[in-house]
Amino acid sequence: MKISTDLFTIFTLTKAELKGRYRNTWAGFLWVALNPIIMFCVHALIFKFVLKIDTERYFIFLLSGLLPWIFISQNLAMTCHSFITNRDILLSFQISPLHILASKVIDNFLNFLAPFFILFAYISYFEDFESKGLWFLPINTVILVIGVFCLSLIFSTLQVYIRDTQYILNFITSIFYFITPIFYPESLVPNSLKFMVDYNPIYILIKPFKIVLWNFDLNLYWIALTNAFLCISILSIISYFIWRNKKNELYLHI
């Protein structure tokens, strides 16, 4: 009974998030879809045709890394203040902060799907891809959403107690943008800096997408999937302990 109530609450909040996002806009959903598409086009222009990165089927390669990266980075930026900006709702109604956070993650995910499939449908017309890898996309997606939710819970909770968290998060995100192989291949990373890739949680979550879409290899995929499971397990443990230790005082600080 409680599970069904929780799901209904999350569904209602997600619906409200979607309506609120598009309220008073003449194009609505189009703006949300256009942003990742424009970012993709700019990256493709600069790194493929200006800097001339020599990577086979570069557009599929870029799509498999850049779109998940946009989802992760935008989600962290938009959820960091979730508990603070929804202070009145949390104090006035019996709604769990986790419900609000989950609704925002789902809202961002739904807005991630449209540009992803639009670009994928367009690019796959021009570039070949390993179609059997598509069967693993749902697994990758579930792992990505769980990982993003855990990261969002960590930073949104810390933001309540440490108001500088948003600035630290922006700084970290900016650094990770360059050290995560999303617009350049992993092979370009020097051996001395490989640790920045191997222990990069964002890249660990993204790598399964790269394998199934760009260069499918079942053995490499199982390794990447195992690493992703370990990553979300660690993130789940960290987020659980942070939430458990801070949730009782949350309403006093928001």
Two structure tokens written together for 6: 């929780």
How many CB atoms within 10 Å of residue 116? Answer: 24
**If we measure between CA atoms, which residue out of 22, 159, 166, 14 comes closest to residue 95?**
14
How far is residue 222's CA from residue 59's CA, in Å, rounded to a whole number?
A: 24
pTM, full prediction? 0.90
**Where are the domains positioned within the chain?**
2-253
- Chain-centre distance of CA 225, in angstroms? 16
Distances from the Cα of 14 to the Cα of 78, 99, 111, 188, 238, angstroms: 14, 9, 12, 40, 25
Tens digits of pLDDT across the chain (254 residues) = 556 676 778 888 887 777 766 666 666 667 777 888 899 999 999 998 888 888 888 999 999 999 999 999 999 998 998 889 888 888 887 788 999 999 999 988 988 888 888 888 888 877 777 678 888 999 999 999 999 999 999 999 999 998 899 999 999 999 999 999 999 999 888 888 889 889 999 999 999 999 999 888 899 999 999 999 999 999 999 999 999 998 888 877 77
> With contact defined as beta carbons under 8 Å apart, do 184 and 58 qualify?
no
